[in-house]
Chains A and B, each alone.
Chain A
C-alpha cells in the first residue's frame, strides 16, 4: 500500500524545537521529493520546504529559511522536518506530501495524515 505515515501530535513551548517524521511505504522512496506543507487552524495551505530523498538536496520558502531543517534516512524510507524557535504562530497541522522527482511536476499526488503541532506556554 502506497502511503505516507507521520508521527503523532506534539505540544511544545515557545522557543523550543520540534521534529516531525514522515514514513514512506509502497513505492521507491528516492524516486519522489518529500515536501512539508502546513495549515494553521481554519486557514489555507502553506508550503514550507522540500527534500530530494535521492540527493538530500533541499529548498526552503524564504519565510522559513534558517528555522527549518529537512533530513532523510534512505535506509528506513523516512523524512524529517525540524522547526526551531517556535512561536504561537507555528501552531498548525503539518503535512508531508510527495511529488515526482522533477522540477516541472511539483503537484502533490500523495499526502500524509498530518501532525498537529501546538505551541503553548
Chain B
C-alpha cells in the first residue's frame, strides 16, 4: 500500500498571500496524483489531476507540480473561499487508492 504524507498539518496564511502544500508518496506514483479541497460539511472537490492539470472550473491561482514521490500544491493570492482542508491522492498503485492525511489552510 502506498502511504501518502502531507505537510504541514496546518498552515496559517493571511489573505492575499500564497500557500505551498506538500505531499510525499512512499514510492513513485509517477504523475498519478490528484489534489482535493474540502470545506466543513461538504464533499471534497477535485482541484488537480495528473499532478498538474487543473480540473474544470478551477481558478488559475491553484497550481500543482511534481512527479515520482514529491508533489506540491501552490495557491497564489489566497481568497477567503480557499481556507479549507486539502488532500492529495495517488492513483498509480491500487487497490487500495490512498489519500494523504490532509493539510488545513487557516486564516492567519
Which residues of A are in contact with B by a Cβ distance under 8 Å? Answer: 35, 44-47, 49-50, 59-63, 95, 97, 99, 104-109, 111-114
Contact = CB atoms under 8 A, between A and B. Distances in A.
Given A95-B43, A108-B44, A113-B43, A44 B102 contact: yes
Given A108-B44, A109-B46, A111-B43, A44 B97 contact: no
A60 B95 contact: yes
B87 interface: yes
Interface of B: 1, 32, 34, 36, 38, 43-46, 49, 55, 87, 89, 91, 94-102
A106 B96 contact: no
Nearest to B53: A107
Contacts of B32: 104, 106
A106 B91 contact: yes
A59 B44 contact: no
B56 to A, nearest CB: 8
14 contacts: A45-B102, A47-B96, A59-B95, A60-B95, A95-B44, A97-B44, A99-B91, A105-B91, A106-B91, A106-B94, A108-B44, A108-B89, A109-B46, A114-B43
B46 A44 contact: no
